[in-house]
Amino acid sequence: MRIVRAPLVALLALLSVPPVYSQEKQAAASAEPRAQADLPQTPLKLQFVLEEYDGTKKIASMPYTMSLTLSHPPHADAGESLKAGIRFPVTTSADRNATQQQYIDIGTSIHCWVWQWSDGRYLLSGSVEESSLVPRNAASDSKEGNLSEANSNAEPLIRETLGAFSIALREGQTQEAASLTDPITGHVIKVEVTLSVMK
């Protein structure tokens, strides 16, 4: 009786070969975080000032400061976010047995990334979102109410302004990043940004 062993030997030989492609893929994946860690880390400080105008009269000025590091193209690996405000409950449905509510963020939210650009400048890209509560009776009069007025029987309106920006700044430079007009009050909201490189 003749026994053919060649296929079994070949199968054992294939199983003994190390998974080279898988090892190379794992090595490349683990090398990428190390490569990012080896890049120079440049600490930055951004100061945002949100100013609200009624015509030419400045009626509010709110400063926010954000610390972050420089991102490295093509990644947005060092972006930062800043949020300040409250979470306000809004009734989504109500019946005899239960009332369902959803919490909505009210306040200021800033997101930003910074890359090194040409001529010693830095490219800032991000967004600023500002929201507040407006009682329905105040909305008809084009006047914004405070939180105590907003907690009436009628659900308040939510005023929201959102501006995206992409600007180039030098160290120490201040520039207007966005200008928004509130359609309810007619007030103008301006966003100024100042960039500083931390030594």
For strands 122-134 and 43-54, give the pairing.
Answer: unpaired
Mind listing the pLDDT tens digit for each residue in 39-88? 667 899 999 999 999 999 999 999 999 999 888 776 656 678 899 999 98
Mind listing the pLDDT tens digit for each residue in 129-155? 988 888 776 555 544 444 444 444 567
Residue 3, pLDDT score: 45
What is the average pLDDT score of the chain?
77
Q: Which residues contact 180 (CB under 8 A, 6 or more apart)?
A: 130, 161, 162, 163, 188, 189, 190, 191
The answer to whether residue 165 scores a pLDDT higher than 80 is yes
Distance between CA atoms of 106 and 72, rounded to whole angstroms? Answer: 32
Distance between CA atoms of 185 and 125, rounded to whole angstroms? Answer: 28
Residue 184, pLDDT score: 76
Residue 132, pLDDT score: 86
Mind listing the pLDDT tens digit for each residue in 5-40? 444 444 444 444 455 545 554 544 454 444 445 566
Mean pLDDT along residues 100-124: 90
Residue 139, pLDDT score: 52
The answer to whether residue 173 scores a pLDDT higher than 80 is yes
Residue 144, pLDDT score: 47
Mind listing the pLDDT tens digit for each residue in 93-103? 767 777 788 88
For strands 57-69 and 80-94, give the pairing.
Answer: unpaired
Q: Hey, where are the domains in the chain? A: 40-197
Residue 199, pLDDT score: 80
Among residues 138, 147, 176, which one has the least CA distance to residue 53?
176
